[in-house]
Amino acid sequence: MPTAPELPPLEWDPDTAEELAHDFVDVGPAGTVESWSWVASPTEQHPLDVPFAFALVKLDGADTAFLHAVDAGSIEAMSTGM
């Protein structure tokens, strides 16, 4: 599993410039792959230059998933729920 990145939320509304209120929650250093798609032939626009997965990862303690690039080594190593 990927380690927990820092995910700071926006401090200001991009449309109104009003300060946004946040209810921060602690999330764990691990999570669960909810869905994924394999990129067998990455291009220079992709974040990795080896085959990888784009995955929706829900960190432990979070209520929503975020998109993450996962270097799993092979398509066989990826699975929903990992």
Report pLDDT digits (tens) over 22-76. 777 788 889 999 999 999 999 999 999 999 999 999 999 988 899 999 999 999 9
Residue 31 per-residue DSSP state: E
pTM assigned to the model: 0.71
**pLDDT value at 18 more than 60:** yes
Provide the residue type at 34 as one letter. E
Where residue 81 falls among pLDDT bands split at 50, 70, 90?
very high
**Torsion angle, alpha carbons of 22, 26, 31, 37, to 10:** 20
Residue 70 contacts residue 53 (beta carbons within 8 Å): yes
